[in-house]
Structure 1
Amino acid sequence: MIRSLAKPAAVGAVALLVLAGCGQAERNDGNDGAAGGASTPAPSATVDAKCATETLEATETGVTADTITIQVSADTGAPAAPGLATGSVDAVKAWAKSVNAAGGLACRQIEVKAYDSKMDPTESRNAMISSCENAFASVGDTMLAAADASPLAECKDAAGKVTGQPQLQTLGLYATQYCNDTSYYLFGPSGDPCPASDGKRELTGSTAISDYLEDATGGETHGSFVLSVDSVATVATSVAAFQVMADDGMAIDQMIGVKSPDTSAQYTPRAASLKAKKSEFVFWGAPFPGLIQMRQEAAAQGVDSVKHWVCTSCYDPAFVEAAGAVGTGTVVPVPHLPFEEAAANPAMKEFTDSVDTHNLFAALSWADGMLFADAVNAVVDQHGVNGLTRANLIAALDAVKDFDADGMIGKVTPSAKEAGVCSAFVELGKDGTWKRAFPAAEGEFHCGDLESVTIDPATAFKG
C-alpha cells in the first residue's frame, strides 16, 4: 500500500499530530557563513519603476507610506514550557530582515511586532486583538492555546468595515480557530470538520506514517499508540490519526495517555505493557521527554519486541542532547525538508543560515513569511503599490494553491482546512545526527492518502 513518492514540486505539508514539545534549542549544521539562495525575490523591475514614480500612501491599518507592520504571536513565555515558540519570533524577524535588505515589499520596509501569547487562551485572544489594532496581518503565529478566533473574524479595517484579520499560523489545534475564514495554515489542521462540532463526526488523517511502517516492516504490524492528554484538542487529533493508521493495517495493541509532568515511576507499568503485548512499534504523539523515560524503562525491563520508535516531537536538538544513546533509532516525520539537506534547497539554506533556532515552529514561521510575500506581491500586481488592504490580501491568500515555499515544504493550499498528507522521515543515528530514513532520495517527501474515519474521539480514546 505504499503511495506515491513525490518531489517537493508535487507534494503537500503533513499534519498528523501536534508536535508539542518543540524546544527552542539551536541546531548547528556547519552552515555558518555560507551563502544561501534568496527565498524571497527582490522586487521586479515593474515594482521598482512604480516605487520610483508613484506617491506611496497609508492604505490600511499597519500600512504607511514607508512601512508594513506585521505581528507574530507566539507562546514564548509559557510557565509550563518557557521558550516553546521562540523560534517563530526569531524566524519572522530574520525573514523580515532578509526581505528588507532585498528592497522590501510594495516599496515599503517590513516592521515586526512580537506578542507573547504564553500558551494561554486569554493571552492568545489578546494577541489577536493587538494584531487587529496595530498590524496589517499576523504572520508566523504559533499559539497552541488559541481556542477563540472571534477577534480575527470581527476585526475591522481602516475604513471601519469588518473584513477580518489575515492570520498566517504555523498550526492549529482547535477547529474553532482554524475554521476562521481569515486563518491560513501550512501545517494542516487536525482533520476536524468545519464548522467545528462535537460528538461522533467524520475526521480525516494522513496515511503517511502507516506507509512508512509498512515499508519498514514489510507488511502489517501492531503496536502501541501514545498521545498527550495535556489538552483535549490533541486527543481528538491523535485518536483520528490512530484510527486511520489502524484501518491501514497498523493494529492498535493499546492507547496510552500521558501528561508532561508524569514521572519515571509512571512509565514502569507502561513499559511493562509493551513487553506483555509484544508491541512491534511505538507511535509517540506527545512531548519527547516522556519518550525518553519510556525508552529508558523499556531498556531496563528488557523489552526487545519494539523495532520502530516513531516520535512526532523529537526532531529537535534538545531531544538529541537529553536522550543520549537511548534515542538512537528514533524516527520522526517532518513536514519540511530535513535541515541536514539545506544545501540542496536555496530556501531552506537561507533559513538555516539566517535563523539560529532550527525546529518545526521556526521553519514554518519562515515559510509563512514567504507566503505573506507572495500574497503581497500578488496584490501589487493586481492593484498597484497602494492597493494594500486587508480585503485584497485575504483575496490573494484565498487564491494561493499548491504553495511549497520554493520546495522547502511540500505543496499545500493554505485556505483548504484539510490535514496535510506528506512528510520526510529522519532517523537518529548512533553518532547523534539525523539521517533520511524514508523516502530514500534527498529532497523528496512521501505523500500518503487523506482518509476519513467516523468516530467520537472522546469515546474512541481507550487510554
Structure 2
Amino acid sequence: MAAALILSACGSGERNDGNDIGDGGTAGAAEVSPECVDAELESTEIGVTDKAIVVQVSADTGAPAAPGLASGSVDAVEAWAAEVNANGGLACRQVEVKTYDSKMDPTESRNAMVSSCESAFASVGDTMLAAADSRPLAECKDQAGSETGQPQLQTLGLFANQYCNDTTYFLFGPSGDPCPAKEGKRELTGATAISDYLQAEAGGETHGMFGVSADNVSTLATSVAVFEVMANGGMKIDRMIGAKSTDTSAEYTPRATALKDDESQFVMWGAPFPGFIQLRQEAVAQGVKSVEHWLCTACYDPAFVDAAGEVGPGTVVPLSHLPFEEAEGNEELGTFTEKVKTHNLFAALAWSDGRLFEEAVNRVVEADGVNGLTRAALLEQLDGITDFTNDGMIAKTTPSAKEATVCNVFVELTDDGKWERAFPEAEGEFHCGDLGRVVIDPATAFKG
C-alpha cells in the first residue's frame, strides 16, 4: 500500500527521549574481527570516530495527538545496533544511536534533521510523518566542509519534496508523485496489488468506500492518486472519506449510513485504526450487510486486536513485510521478533533500514577500507543497492528508485484473535502487481 495511506497509529507506548544518545546495546563482550585487531582507526567523518559510528533515528514518538506513534522505529534501531555491536560492530567500530522526537511537527522534524546533520554520520530508521522537506539534509556539510548532504534512510516516503531529496532513501514509497516535486495536474503511479487481491476475492469488479487520514492535508491530497489507480483496477469508488483522529463516534453514524445506502461491498481504510473500529461498530448497529471485505492498512497491531474486540475478525491488512507469525520460516524475521520488543510496521521497516545501512557500510569497507567511511562514499554505495529484501523479510525494493512498492502479503484476523495469511497462500511469498498510472491534480481530486 502506498505510504500515503499509512498515517496511522502503528506504535504504542509513549516515548519522550528526544535528542539522546542510546547505549546501542553494547552490553556484553563484542566479538573482534581479525581485520580489526591491528587496524589503526581514524575519525573520518562527522559521526565517525576511531571508536564509534553515530547514527540518529528521528521519529514521531511524542506527538500529543498520537503518543508513541513511531516508538517502534526507535526500538528497532536500538535493537539493530545492539545486534550489530554484539557481532563485532561495523568498520571495526561500535554503533551508537542518537534519538530525536520529531513530535509529528514540521518544525521539530526540521530540527531533527539539523541535529542529525551536525552530530551523526547518517539518519537511520527515520519516521517523521510531518516532515515538510529534506533541505537540512540536502544542504548538510561534511567534515571537509563540502555540501555533500547527509544520508537519510527512512521507513516511508510520504511527500515528494521530501523523498525526492538525493540523499534520502526510503524502503516503501509514495503514491508515485514524480521527482522533482511538481504541482497541478500530473502523472502519478500507484501499486495494483490490493486491487489484484480484492478482484480475486470478489470475482470481478467491486465497489466500496475509501477512507484516508485527514490529519495532514498533503497526505489527503496525494492519497487520491492511490484510490484512482485502484478504481482503474476494478475497485469502483462509492465515496471517499477524510477521517481525523479527533472525529467522534457521532461522525461515523452518517458514514455507516452511506455504506448501507450505497450497498458498498468493501471498505479500504488508510486512516488510524480507531476510526476503522468506530465505522465497523456503527455498521453493526445499523445492520450493514453488504460489506464483504474490510481492508485496513493500520490494523496489523496488537493494540488494534485488543481495541476492536468482536468487530475485529475479518479485517484484512496488506503488509510490505512478512507476517510476524512466520518468524520460524525466515531467519531474519526470527531475529527481528526476538530482538525487538515492538512488532509493527514502523519497527519492521526501521530494523530493515538498519540492515540497509549495514550493507552499505560493509560495501564501503570492502571498496575503501575501514577508514573509508565518508558520507559521499556511503551515498555512492546506497545508490548501488537494488532489489533489497533484507533476506526476504520485506518486499523487494530499490531504495534510491523513488517508486511505490508493488508487492504485498495479506493477512486476515480470525475469530480467535490471530492473524493468518490470506493471500498469496504460500508462506514466505509476496504478491507483486504492477504500477498503475493516472493523470490527475491530487490537490483538487479528493471528493470526500
| 1:17-36 matches, cutoff 5 A | 17-25=4-12
- 1:121 counterpart = 2:106: yes
- 1:266 counterpart = 2:251: yes
Aligned partners of 2:3 and 2:158 also within 8 Å:
no
Q: Which residue, out of 327, 340, 346, partners 2:331?
A: 346
Q: RMSD between aligned alpha carbons?
A: 1.4
Aligned partners of 1:155 and 1:162 also within 8 Å:
yes
Aligned partners of 1:74 and 1:117 also within 8 Å:
yes
Match of 2:315 in 1: 330
Q: Distance in 2 between matches of 1:361 and 1:427?
A: 19
Q: Distance in 2 between matches of 1:52 and 1:316?
A: 44
Q: Alpha-carbon deviation of 1:391? A: 0.2
Q: Distance in 2 between matches of 1:214 and 1:243?
A: 15
Note the residue ranges of structure 1 that are not aligned, 5 or more in a row: 1-13, 27-42
- 1:61 counterpart = 2:40: no
| 1:227-238 matches, cutoff 5 A | 227-238=212-223
Q: Distance in 1 between matches of 2:425 and 2:391?
A: 21
Match of 1:289 in 2: 274
1:342-385 per-residue CA deviation (whole Å, 9 max, x = no partner) reads: 11111110110001100000000000000000000000000000
Aligned partners of 1:62 and 1:136 also within 8 Å:
yes
Q: Distance in 2 between matches of 1:238 and 1:161?
A: 37
Q: Distance in 2 between matches of 1:24 and 1:261?
A: 18
- 1:150 counterpart = 2:154: no
1:304-329 per-residue CA deviation (whole Å, 9 max, x = no partner) reads: 00000011111111111100010110
| 1:41-60 matches, cutoff 5 A | 48-60=33-45
Q: Distance in 2 between matches of 1:355 and 1:426?
A: 21
Give the match's secondary structure for 1:92. helix
Letter in 2 for 1:435: E
Aligned partners of 1:22 and 1:360 also within 8 Å:
no
TM-score, structure 1 as length reference: 0.91
Q: Alpha-carbon deviation of 1:255? A: 1.2
Q: Distance in 2 between matches of 1:398 and 1:104?
A: 23
Q: Which residue, out of 181, 197, 204, partners 1:212?
A: 197
Q: Distance in 2 between matches of 1:157 and 1:85?
A: 28
TM-score, structure 2 as length reference: 0.94
Match of 1:444 in 2: 429
Q: Distance in 1 between matches of 2:9 and 2:347?
A: 10
Aligned partners of 2:4 and 2:174 also within 8 Å:
no
Q: Which residue, out of 109, 119, 122, partners 2:94?
A: 109
Q: Alpha-carbon deviation of 1:220? A: 1.0
Q: Alpha-carbon deviation of 1:20? A: 2.0
Give the match's secondary structure for 1:400. coil
Q: Alpha-carbon deviation of 1:190? A: 2.7
Q: Alpha-carbon deviation of 1:52? A: 2.2
Q: Which has the higher contact order (CA 8 A, sep 6+)?
A: 1
Give the match's secondary structure for 1:147. coil
Q: Distance in 2 between matches of 1:228 and 1:84?
A: 14
Match of 1:34 in 2: none
Give the match's secondary structure for 2:33. helix
1:109-141 per-residue CA deviation (whole Å, 9 max, x = no partner) reads: 000000111111011000000000000000001
Q: Distance in 2 between matches of 1:334 and 1:376?
A: 28
Aligned partners of 1:22 and 1:361 also within 8 Å:
no
Q: Alpha-carbon deviation of 1:237? A: 2.9
Q: Which residue, out of 370, 384, 400, partners 2:385?
A: 400
| 1:154-233 matches, cutoff 5 A | 154-233=139-218
Identity percentage over the alignment? 70
| 1:298-317 matches, cutoff 5 A | 298-317=283-302
Q: Alpha-carbon deviation of 1:16? A: 5.2
Give the match's secondary structure for 1:406. coil
Aligned residues: 432
1:236-257 per-residue CA deviation (whole Å, 9 max, x = no partner) reads: 3321111001111111111122
Q: Distance in 1 between matches of 2:309 and 2:8?
A: 17
Aligned partners of 2:215 and 2:245 also within 8 Å:
yes
Q: Alpha-carbon deviation of 1:222? A: 0.9
Match of 1:251 in 2: 236
Q: Distance in 2 between matches of 1:126 and 1:17?
A: 23
Letter in 1 for 2:364: V
- 1:372 counterpart = 2:396: no
Aligned partners of 1:48 and 1:107 also within 8 Å:
yes
Aligned partners of 1:255 and 1:461 also within 8 Å:
yes
Letter in 2 for 1:21: S
1:285-340 per-residue CA deviation (whole Å, 9 max, x = no partner) reads: 11110111111111111100000001111111111110001011000001000011
Match of 1:39 in 2: none
